[in-house]
Structure 1
Amino acid sequence: MQQTQPAKEPNYARIAESPKFKTLMARKKSFLLPMSLFFFAYYFTLPLLTSYSTALNQPALGPVSWAWLFAFSQFIMTWALCILYSRKARYYDALVEEIKREL
């Protein structure tokens, strides 16, 4: 009966200090922070405008007001951001694999 060797525990301190890992984290941060800020600003614009303004109460398409169109656009925005992040995540995953190979 053949026994398998336990997996070698990675040296996380060494990984965290590597230049490639720092580059990965900086790139992720430079992508995620603006994207998150945009998401929250866009998301909270609708309740703020409908609560403190009448700008979105005007009809846009027949009986449909701008508030309804803005609300629908939030679904589109969420899907677009998810697709954008999924594509960007493939790039980050490739960097992670490269870091794992090197270390």
Structure 2
Amino acid sequence: MIPATYATNAYKLAQNLANRGDKGQTGGDDLTRPDFAGMLKQAVGSVVDQGRAAEAKQVAYASGKADVVDVVTAVAETQVALETMVTLRDKVISAYEDIMRMSI
């Protein structure tokens, strides 16, 4: 499932960060360093691609070339992926608000 894949990837990235030790930001040109913007772009792109695939199945069903079970499954998977993205967005916004409330 897609949400499980996101969770697994996030866990692996967190483990990589934890295992870096005290390198800090002086690590130089570390190509394996996790890129939040890239990860976010990939996740959003995946949801968009899944939505397009669901739409393609709906069109195929309308023209009689697909089974209704495939269409319902594709739409349900897209809905779960979108709900996961919205939940993650809400968590990021909540974390940002918590950080902004901290006193310096």
TM-score range, shorter chain: 0.3 to 0.5
Question: Normalization by structure 2: what TM-score?
Answer: 0.42
Pick the structure with greater CA Rg: 1
Instruction: Using CA pairs under 8 Å that are at least 6 residues apart, name the structure with larger relative contact order, 1 or 2.
Output: 1
